[in-house]
Structure 1
Amino acid sequence: MTHILKAALSVGTVAAALLAASPATAFPAVGHRGDPAVVTTDNETPALYDDEEGGNASGDDPAIWVHPKDSHRSIVIVTAKEGGLRVYDMRSRELQSLAATEAPRADTAKGRYNNVDIAYDITLAGRVVDVAVVSDRYNDQLRFFVIDPAGAAARTPLTEVTAADQRFLFNPDRKAVDEEHTAYGLAVWQPKRGETYAVVTQEGATTLATARVVEVDGRLGYTSVKKLTMPSTFKLPDGSTWSPCAEPGVLPQFEGVAVDQKSGVLYAAQEDVGLWRLRLPLGSGGQPTLIDKVTDFGIHDAYDEESEECRPIDPKAKGFGGNRLTADAEGVDIYYGPGSTGYVIVSSQGDDTFAVYDRQGKNAPVGGFRVKGAKGADDVNGSDGLAVTNRPVGDYRRGLLVTHDEPESGPDVDDERDATNFSYVSWGEIADALSLKVTTKAGNDPRFR
């Protein structure tokens, strides 16, 4: 049964609070961006092709699983939408390819795997396991895959353990699911040992949801779905009201989400709006805060049905945006330092860069970077999802960031096909370029107790 939060903020209450706030309070200013730093990568996964020959595989979102004893056995798990999942080792070699199979339900459809995150130390059938949690857009539900403790040394690193006939997350029935306003972005939240939730966004809507992960007949499912509707319209300092432009019936959606496991703070990227901070459980801890805005925030556009594009009503309009995120604001993850220190990293898909913010306080911006290819790897463009860990993994002794790259290019890539992949970037190199701290202790990240 779905429990709509009694204390949850509806679209009206959240928007009203923002509309009532002064411009300085509602939309805090950020510092001048300057030129982003440049870091390099020479380690990238094989190209995925979004066509029939390639299994309609389109890369989207990565997650890093850290082996508890041998970091070289750590793995990267990525979504490939209709192409399922891929598992790679620390040298970006493919270890496993899993098809987007039909969900275990009576009214099933083949899957479309959009986002992935890792849940550590879940009790299942009497043993403690780590699990990849995945959003399945075509079935509007979660899918679960146990990670073999051998990691990269396992013959089959992932095995699905999704319980049968799990409820739809956002829709009442299969007919509504087929409209595809379904489970989209995803992050795992583990507030204490023995308690695991998935935070999920809805495609084409402003709804966020949490679902508690539970054991069901020796497999994994979920219960206690709670929802929160975020704003889709905003009052601007000039007195006008603004909504991001989209095709009819589509609201400004969220995708990238990440949870600070120590504080219970959720960071959520609303693609055409900016980066939000709010407290979990949903509806607790005061009003959501819009930390930073995309550059074209407040520019009034009109949707052109013939071209299916949004165009500025006034081409000279400057808007009220920030200067670090160019729509879409996409992937989000957290680098843990000691205590409340560390960083929030966001991919700025529209200009092929990444913005970095302080993890503590008001999340002040601390810099930005772009990723240039080296030794045969190409530059990172149009990044969607990203994942970061402070832990040493493989040869990345000062931590690792993995990012989606689209389009993938290079001498070994068929440029006549739609190619994507994922690039590995040393956190140490990012830290050096931006004068950030490197702290690799396991205790910094509460998931590694």
Structure 2
Amino acid sequence: MGSIFGTDGIRGIYGDDKVNEDMAFRLGKAFVQFLKRSSDHPEVIVGRDTRISGERLQKEMARGIIVGGGRAFISPIITTPGLSYLVHANRADGGVMITASHNPPQYNGFKFFNSGGEKLSRSEETVLENLLSDTDPDRGLKIREEAVYLKEATESYVRFLLSTIPKDMDFRGIFIILDCANGATSSVASELFSRLNIVHGLINCAGDGENINRGCGALYPDSLKEYVLHLKAVAGFSFDGDGDRVVAVDERGDVIDGDQILIIASRLLKERGILKNNLVVSTIMSNMGLMDALRDMGLRHIECDVGDRNVYETMKAHGAVLGGEESGHIIFREHHVTGDGLLTSLQILFAMKYFNLPLSKMSKWMVPFPRVMLNVGVKKRPEINSVAAIRKVIEDAKKDLLNKGRVLVRYSGTEPVCRVMVEGKDRKRIDAWANKIADVIRLNLN
């Protein structure tokens, strides 16, 4: 049996064996035992997004923490980076975010944080999972105290976000559109941008528990594009359900992904003299155009595996202050230890003011290579290279593309799919190879 932890915490359909009230209670107890290695009476903050199952899971997680011998603090609806910030700012021993990020409403999950607001490492998750197996699942135990509600959580997070840009920055005259995915950013976005005197329109900011990420947010920017063009906004920002990623839309209606945001941020930090070691970290999913653009700017680049935790750990190991993923997780390590969609949006607006350029001009600092991405549903997940037919078709594609393209095939860490990515300058060629690889995977893994 594999680990219950995926690429980013625990995730699944609410009610399955990984995501339910019993599991939340047991995880709460196990997490306290994990934290007792450094604290006799651990304090843990529990946050959630807008999913209808979130409140029940939050309550049981808090009960498990208290029964396990810790103190539980309940946050109102908050983003994942907001929860991370609260843990560090309140000097808590740990934190748990109840969310399934960009997944549909029927999903939920758990992300765990240490006292610094950092996500647990893979080895720490293994320790926690081992503790879970020894945890008594009896939820009928009476608790000796109630969880404490953090009334000032949202205000504290807003103040933190405001501190990440210069105090004298004047954003008057800017009009933007925000797509909150009916998720966690709905609780904070308008307050944040209002305090900066940024005129903004809101779409998908009325979460009812069952509409988070449903045809909206970072994975579905089409409606945001329409609003930006129709209302003549200078930019639009589309967040995912838990607010740790963002994609932008420029004034022409073009989508700006995480790689393009990284280039804009790289130039901003370099010009300001704060791009430590002239180094930027991205993942194996980043476009080849990003590498070319960084090279042209005289910057170093390190590649890591997918996941903003991997990005952060690589940044930390190599002394980088900027890193991210093409999906829109961007980490500004001088400010935060995890991807934050709202913080990233502020930095993009800051860059527009700093360079006095529209977003469409800045996004052209990187010319992306054509790319084909296919998600193939699979019923089994052997090592990719262990399946001869799949290994051969991938090798054939790489030989054909040579140095003018690349092929990446990997399993999703959160869904039962195999992701096929083929990139290169010849659109017809990469499209043909992507579909050929997908067909072979479909035939051999189902």
Provide the TM-score with structure 1 as the length reference. 0.30
Bigger relative contact order, structure 1 or 2, given CA contacts below 8 A and separation 6+?
A: 1
**Between structures 1 and 2, the one with greater strand share:** 1
Provide the TM-score with structure 2 as the length reference. 0.30
Q: Which of structures 1 and 2 has the bigger CA Rg? A: 2
